[in-house]
């Protein structure tokens, strides 16, 4: 139950209870993360009165860089409880409390996301100690948790583990409470995401939409397209635009008078069509996606000993990458996976900077290309196999994905590494009849962004059906 501010300091002190928490996650794509560990300390403003700490099995792999950061591995979580098994305890310990976290926006989003997956609406007042620290202790060089508590003399152990970070946040919060003598900032900083009252025109637009995968177009009163987007749930995504508090959402709410959509069934087709339509129409609120959507690529060179070196670099000039990434983090995550899967050398893949052997060699997980024990031909054959697999050069294939109905599939046509177009077909149709299928293709323009979308989608969706085409 939310606590009303009654204007009396003594009442606030007596009633306000806090749930100070920290969450560790799998990392990965926005809103696809899962919780790996959670720690909650229930606090009455003076001392801890209850606590809950648990590892959580996220039912999805942890990104390698997160494993390195937290020390939490997939193996550690195999026997851990799943989120639905700890959800009741989380609800109980936070009931009637203000959630407190360092960068509360992140922890609150992740917690709400996990509850949404269970079909439960989780809503609490929340308070951010980053925001609070900037107001009460201004002009510090950094407000990251580690540097902040160190500068304030607050002891900290188990950094990047939920219990250690939550306990440090608790000590920080106690210090902030003591500094805020009149409790004005505490009251101003506590917020509950409000249920916004939508304008009738926006309500009508949402009611006309469907909860399906596709692309959508937003129009102003003159009929101009002002925004194009894609979503796996068009209705839900438009609703997010219409209740959003960020500057772009507020501008959209003022300008948009109509929304149209095109159902694609396939997320891949939604991504490809969104990119093509933004380039064609150049909507005013799509400035970011008018530019190239990837920044880094996978490149290969030979070292002085003849070994093929793979490395993630920023894309510059005319040199074409083997495959592309939206940022360096996703590139490094990819590199970690292929090194482990294909028995490559950490040193030759830029993951371990050393003049001697790589770390994997010391634990017998590298065959010794870094020491010369693995021959050039043997090692290069493994690398070349990866280059051939991830490069689109000379590849001709059909990428089969979901359709717009249960008995329909989509097919994206790639010929000699070039995107040609797409079509839909009924499951009763023999997809192997490519001559007939080719006459049904709706063209799509091939460009660097389209190739990036294809490659990254295929990397993420390992179970995607791909049919090679004969020359």
Q: What is the DSSP string of 104-153?
A: HHHHHHHHHHHHHHTT-----EEEEHHHHHHHHSTT-S--SHHHHHHHTT
Distance CA 112, CA 102 (A): 16
Q: Which domain CATH number covers 119?
A: 3.30.420.10
- Residues 214, 150, single domain; the answer is no
Distance CA 143, CA 125 (A): 22
Last residue of a domain, one of 290, 307, 337: 290
Last residue of a domain, one of 263, 290, 317: 290
How is residue 256 annotated by DSSP?
-
Give the residues across from 409 on adjacent strands: 402, 425
Q: At 289, which helix (H) or strand (E)?
A: helix 287-290
Q: What's residue 5's pLDDT?
A: 35
Residue 145 covered by a domain: yes
- Residues 124, 27, single domain; the answer is yes
Q: What are phi and psi of 363, to 5 degrees?
A: -105, 15
Q: Which domain CATH number covers 213?
A: 3.40.1440.10
Residues 6+ apart with CB under 8 A from 434: 398, 469, 470
Residue 3 covered by a domain: no
Look up residue 427 and give its two tokens. Answer: 């499951």
Distance CA 21, CA 9 (A): 25
Site of tokens 């109980």: 92
Residues 6+ apart with CB under 8 A from 310: 298, 299, 300, 335, 338, 344, 348, 349, 350, 383, 386
Q: What's residue 169's pLDDT?
A: 95
Of 193, 4, 190, which is closest to residue 98 (Cα–Cα)? 190
Distance CA 204, CA 291 (A): 33
Residue 35 contacts residue 162 (beta carbons within 8 Å): no
Classify the C-alpha dihedral 159-163-167-169 as positive or negative. Answer: positive
How long is the chain? 471
- Residues 15, 138, single domain; the answer is yes
Residue 2 covered by a domain: no
Other beta carbons within 10 Å of 311: 15
- Residues 232, 335, single domain; the answer is no
Residue 134 covered by a domain: yes
The runs of H, that is alpha helices, within 232-283 are 234-243, 247-255, 267-281
Q: How many domains does the chain have?
A: 4
Other beta carbons within 10 Å of 102: 27
Of 60, 57, 75, which is closest to residue 27 (Cα–Cα)? 60
pLDDT in tens, the chain (471 residues): 333 333 333 333 345 899 999 999 998 888 889 999 999 999 988 899 999 999 999 999 999 889 988 999 999 999 999 999 999 999 999 999 999 999 998 999 999 999 999 989 899 989 999 989 988 888 888 899 999 999 898 988 888 899 999 999 999 999 998 888 767 666 766 765 544 556 777 888 888 888 999 999 999 888 889 999 999 999 999 988 988 888 888 889 888 988 989 999 999 999 999 998 998 888 988 876 555 667 788 888 998 889 998 988 888 876 788 888 878 888 888 888 888 888 899 889 888 888 888 888 888 888 889 988 999 999 999 999 888 888 776 788 889 999 999 889 999 999 888 898 998 888 776 666 667 777 778 888 888 888 888 888 988 888 888 888 865
- Residues 286, 305, single domain; the answer is no
The runs of H, that is alpha helices, within 140-192 are 145-151, 162-179, 184-189
Q: What's residue 185's pLDDT?
A: 65
- Residues 56, 166, single domain; the answer is yes
Residue 402 covered by a domain: yes
Distance CA 40, CA 157 (A): 16
Site of tokens 């989380």: 90
Q: What's residue 238's pLDDT?
A: 92
Q: What's residue 9's pLDDT?
A: 37
Residue 38 contacts residue 90 (beta carbons within 8 Å): yes
Last residue of a domain, one of 260, 290, 320: 290
- Residues 19, 145, single domain; the answer is yes
Look up residue 205 and give its two tokens. Answer: 């637009």
Look up residue 122 and give its two tokens. Answer: 């989780």
Residue 392 covered by a domain: no
Kindly list the distances between the CA atom of residue 259 and the CA atoms of 203, 286, 427, in Å, as whole numbers in the listed order: 12, 15, 31
- Residues 64, 114, single domain; the answer is yes
- Residues 50, 153, single domain; the answer is yes
- Residues 82, 211, single domain; the answer is no
Distance CA 318, CA 320 (A): 6
- Residues 116, 64, single domain; the answer is yes
The SS3 of residue 220 is coil
- Residues 99, 137, single domain; the answer is yes
Q: Please give the residue range of the domain that contains residue 303.
A: 296-385
Residues 6+ apart with CB under 8 A from 43: 17, 18, 19, 20, 49, 100, 170, 173, 174
Residue 387 contacts residue 372 (beta carbons within 8 Å): no
Residue 390 covered by a domain: no
Most distant CA pair in the chain, distance:
81
Residue 395 contacts residue 416 (beta carbons within 8 Å): yes
Residue 252 covered by a domain: yes
């Amino acid at each position: 139950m939310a606590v009303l501010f009654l204007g009396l300091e003594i009442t606030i002190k007596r009633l306000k209870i806090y749930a100070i928490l920290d969450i560790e996650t799998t990392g990965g794509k926005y809103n696809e993360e899962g919780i790996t560990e959670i720690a909650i300390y229930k606090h009455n403003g003076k001392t801890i009165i209850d606590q809950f700490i648990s590892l959580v099995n996220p039912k999805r792999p942890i990104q390698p860089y997160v494993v390195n950061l937290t020390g939490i591995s997939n193996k550690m979580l195999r026997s851990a409880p799943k989120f639905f098994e700890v959800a009741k305890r989380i609800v109980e310990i936070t009931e009637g409390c203000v959630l407190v976290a360092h960068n509360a926006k992140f922890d609150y989003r992740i917690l709400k996301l996990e509850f949404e997956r269970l079909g439960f609406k989780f809503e609490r007042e929340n308070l951010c100690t980053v925001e609070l620290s900037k107001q009460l202790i201004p002009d510090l060089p950094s407000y990251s948790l580690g540097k902040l508590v160190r500068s304030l003399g607050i002891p900290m152990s188990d950094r990047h583990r939920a219990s250690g970070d939550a306990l440090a946040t608790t000590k920080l919060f106690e210090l902030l409470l003591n500094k805020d003598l009149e409790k004005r900032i505490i009251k101003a900083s506590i917020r509950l995401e409000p249920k916004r009252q939508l304008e009738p025109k926006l309500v009508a637009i949402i009611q006309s939409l469907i909860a399906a995968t596709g692309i959508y177009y937003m129009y102003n009163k003159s009929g101009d397209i002002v925004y194009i987007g894609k979503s796996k749930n068009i209705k839900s995504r438009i609703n997010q635009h219409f209740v959003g508090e960020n500057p772009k959402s507020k501008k959209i709410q003022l300008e948009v008078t109509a929304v149209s959509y095109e159902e694609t069934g396939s997320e891949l087709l939604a991504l490809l069509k969104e990119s093509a339509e933004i380039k064609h129409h150049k909507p005013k609120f799509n400035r970011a996606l008018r530019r190239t959507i990837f920044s880094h690529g996978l490149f290969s060179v030979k070292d002085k000993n003849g070994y093929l070196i793979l490395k993630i670099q920023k894309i510059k000039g005319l040199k074409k990458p083997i495959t592309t990434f939206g940022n360096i983090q996703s590139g490094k995550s990819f590199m970690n996976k292929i090194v482990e899967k294909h028995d490559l050398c950490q040193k030759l893949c830029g993951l371990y900077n050393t003049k001697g052997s790589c770390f994997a060699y010391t634990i017998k997980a590298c065959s010794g290309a870094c020491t010369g024990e693995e021959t050039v031909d043997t090692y290069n054959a493994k690398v070349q196999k990866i280059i051939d697999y991830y490069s689109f050069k000379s590849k001709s294939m059909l990428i089969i994905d979901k359709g717009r109905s249960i008995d329909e599939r989509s097919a994206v046509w790639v010929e000699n590494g070039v995107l040609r177009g797409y079509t839909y077909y009924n499951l009763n149709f023999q997809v192997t009849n490519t001559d007939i299928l080719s006459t049904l293709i709706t063209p799509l323009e091939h460009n660097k962004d389209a190739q990036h979308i294809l490659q990254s989608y295929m990397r993420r969706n390992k179970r995607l059906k791909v049919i090679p085409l004969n020359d």
